[in-house]
Amino acid sequence: MSGKPKLHYFNGRGRMETIRWLLAAAGVEFEECFMETKDDFTKLQKNGFLLFQQVPMVEIDGMKMVQTRAICNYIAAKYNLYGKDLKERALIDMYVEAIMDLNELFMTHPIQPADKKEQHFATIVDKATNRYFPVYEKVLKDHGQDFLVGNQFSRADVQLLEILLIAEECKPDILAKFPLLQSFKARISNIPTIKKFLQPGSQRKPPLQEKDLPKVMKIFY
Amino acid sequence: MSGKPKLYYFDGRGKMESIRWLLAAAGVEFEEEFLETQEQYEKLLQGGFLLFQQVPMVEIDGMKMVQTRAILSYIAAKYNLYGKDLKERALIDMYVGGTDDLMGFIMMFPFLSAEDKEKQRAVIVQKATSRYFPAYEKVLKDHGQDFLVGNRFSWADVHLLEAILMVEEKKSDVLSGFPQLQAFKTRISSIPTIKKFLEPGSQRKPVPDDKYVETVRRVLRMYYDIKAN
């Protein structure tokens, strides 16, 4: 046993990507075990490794953790990315929960039926630019600090950067009206652990290609 | 200002119900403002009360908190219902994640067409009995303790009881294969704060009906069809 956290998922972003971001941001090396086929998944389920028969699953500190939020919460707390007290934690939670709502929309886009895709895309862009991004722009404007919460790097910054990059992949000029988010993006990307994660060859996963979708679906359905 | 937490939501369960359960379990009195009209909602929006333009919103300790999970985590931590250390917290988070997913199947139920309701009822029962209940049954069996985590009452126990009662409303004998959960249900229901919340006249909300659905649709202008997942 290496002592490093071990991630069980398919070789793609999905619900595991945020966990990869947090571990990378914290400078924690991790291993990955990729499910390629339904058999790989069934094997994990039959071994009793998956509390609710689902992935993500992360082997960490003697636990087989499941539930994305639980895993993210544990990593953030363990590596001091969760604020200094209950109130900072509350702010961080509010910010990351909303980011996760937006991320759900992005994540479910590839599986929309063809006739609904365009409308769905429009909804995502609308929500990102009218509901979510303005909030983070205002937070940064109001306190003028480098980080979202408590003048200290936290998971909120990591997760916001993650979603900003995802949004730009979908629509390259989506940050046009958000100057502070643009400088936030540059600033956080320069943090050494983040910078490393953003370089080619890291464990960061690319966006799901249309052609790979059937293979992923076969694992689960 | 009363100092009590104040909940802003519809007069019904939805996403606020777990918050009501947790405050009640902690013995915390709370006030509620019910959204009935679009104008009320617009007023909250204009006033900048809703960070992401959504409810639930809870005024607590000088904050206008939004995002159900954030609110629940805050309450759990504040009132010592979140375990004693990081590892107990991890277990609680995992368990709550499961019951949250299970209750998610039920949350959309009132908004479905009659035909989809029947299908969804079957899905709820199937997920409860083949995926979620067995997990909690095993946890209780393996450690033989009264509570899910750390031999102490926590958020996980409250959330599981809430989920059990909700599923039973869809199929009253759904616990028949789960003796540990049956005992758990009786035990947790007897805790004084929980017992009080389960009595008529408490702030617990009833099973959502058409009037609730109509109110939500009207206030949020949510007139599109909801499909089961």
Give residue B224's pLDDT band: very low, low, confident or very high (50, 70, 90). confident
Chain A, 21 to 80: residues with Cβ < 8 Å from chain B are: 51-53, 61, 63, 65-70, 73-74, 77-78
A5 backbone dihedrals φ, ψ, rounded to 5°:
-60, 145
B91 and B48 within one domain: no
Contact B152, B79 (CB under 8 A): no
Q: What is the pLDDT of residue B222?
A: 84
Alpha-carbon span B95 to B149, nearest angstrom: 9
Q: Is residue A188 predicted with pLDDT exceeding 90?
A: yes
**Residue B132: inside a domain, yes or no?**
yes
Q: Which domain holds residue B97?
A: 86-190
* Mean pLDDT, residues A33-37 taken together: 96
CATH of the domain at B51: 3.40.30.10
Are residues B149 and B207 located together in one domain of the fold?
no
**At a CB cut-off of 8 Å and minimum separation 6, what does B181 contact?**
B133, B136, B137, B140, B164, B175
B interface with A, Cβ–Cβ below 8 Å: 51-53, 61, 63, 65-70, 73-74, 77-78, 86-87, 89-90, 93-94, 96-98, 101, 131-132, 135
Residue A180 above 90 pLDDT?
A: yes
**For the segment B24-60, what is each residue's pLDDT rounded down to a tens digit?**
999 999 999 999 999 999 999 999 999 999 999 999 9
Does the structure show a pLDDT above 70 at B229? no
Nearest CA in chain A to B66: A94
Q: What is the ipTM of this complex?
A: 0.96
* Residue A80 with chain B: CB contacts under 8 Å: none
CB-closest option in A65, A89, A97 to B67: A97
- Considering the domain architecture, whether residues B62 and B106 belong to the same structural domain is answered as no
Question: A86: Cβ–Cβ under 8 A, 6 or more apart, which residues?
Answer: B74, B77, B78
Tell me the CATH number at B178: 1.20.1050.10
- pLDDT at A143 > cutoff 80: yes
Residue B201 has phi, psi (to 5 degrees) of: 95, -10
Look at B51 and A132 and tell me if their CB atoms are within 8 Å.
no
Q: Which domains does chain A have, with CATH numbers?
A: 6-79+198-213 (3.40.30.10), 86-190 (1.20.1050.10)
Give the distance from residue B92's alpha carbon to the nearest chain A alpha carbon, in angstroms.
Answer: 8
Mean pLDDT of chain A: 96
Within 8 A by CB and 6+ apart from A88, the residues are A82, A149, A150, A154
pLDDT score for A111: 87
pLDDT tier, B122 (very low <50, low <70, confident <90, very high otherwise): very high
Give yes or no: residues B47 and B13 share one domain.
Answer: yes
Q: What Rg do the C-alpha atoms of chain A give, in angstroms?
A: 18
Is residue A136 exposed (0-12), middle (13-18) or buried (19+ Cβ within 10 Å)? buried
Q: Do residues B186 and B97 share a domain? A: yes
Q: Are residues B186 and B215 in the same domain?
A: no
pLDDT, one tens digit per residue, over B166-201 is: 999 999 999 999 999 999 999 999 999 999 999 999
How, if at all, do strands B31-34 and B6-9 pair?
Answer: parallel
Res. B65 pLDDT band, cuts 50 70 90: very high
> Quick one: closest CA in B to A50, which residue?
B135
The pTM of this model reads 0.97
Q: Name the residue among B52, B86, B132 with its Cβ closest to that of A52.
A: B132
Selecting from B51, B87, B97 the residue whose C-beta is nearest the C-beta of A67 gives B97
Among candidates B73, B87, B131 on the partner chain, residue whose Cβ is nearest the Cβ of A53 = B131
